[in-house]
Structure 1
Amino acid sequence: MAKNAAALHILVKEEKLALDLLEQLKQGADFEKLAKKHSTCPSGKKGGHLGEFKQGAMVPAFDKVVFSCPLIEPQGPLHTQFGYHIIKVLYRN
């Protein structure tokens, strides 16, 4: 089972915006550009890059998605106490 992962995410306050961003991604929009424009997380300035992190380092719902979803395919929206996330897992190892 994977112990580490690297992911991008876009964090927004409203589910409607998260759904709209997810649809844009499905239509081929650039994840990093959307993250820079819309994400309220400090990682947005880096195109949503969260870097590599260990399993258990993120809030449980986020962690569950990262360590179980298909790679590269944007996932979401996932609601946590921080807002709504669109997640793109780059790799797990």
Structure 2
Amino acid sequence: MAKTASALHILVKHQDKAEDIIAQLKKGAKFQTLAKKYSTCPSGKKGGDLGEFKKGQMVPAFDKVCFTAELITPHLVKTKHGWHVVKVLYRT
């Protein structure tokens, strides 16, 4: 079982905006470019890069996606902070 993961994310307030971002990604838009443009999280300035983090460090719904979902594919997650478009890069 993975102990750490690395992910990029884009945080927005509304589900429709998050779904629009996923649609743009499917059309070939760069994740980092969209993160800098839309993310309300400070990590947006770094292209949404959260770096490597341990299991249990993030809010539960976000953590679950990071440690169980398919790698590289963008995923939509709702948390108390808003809507996240999450791209899990790797797990160790």
TM-score, reference length from structure 1 = 0.97
CA distance in 2, matches of 1:21, 1:3: 29
Runs of 4+ deviating beyond 2 Å: none
Aligned to 2:82: 83
* Percent of pairs with identical residues: 64
Aligned to 1:50: 50
Q: Structure 2 regions of 5+ residues with no counterpart?
A: none
In the TM superposition, what whole-angstrom CA distance separates every residue of 1:35-73 from its partner, at most 9, and x where no partner exists? 000000000000000000000000000000000011111
Matches within 5 A, 1:1-93: 1-76=1-76, 78-93=77-92
Could you say what the CA RMSD is over the residues aligned between the two structures, in angstroms?
0.5
Q: Structure 1 regions of 5+ residues with no counterpart?
A: none
Residue-pair matches, total: 92
Residue 71 of structure 1: SS of its match in structure 2? coil
TM-score, reference length from structure 2 = 0.98
Residue 67 of structure 1: SS of its match in structure 2? helix
Deviation at 1:26, TM superposition (A): 1.1
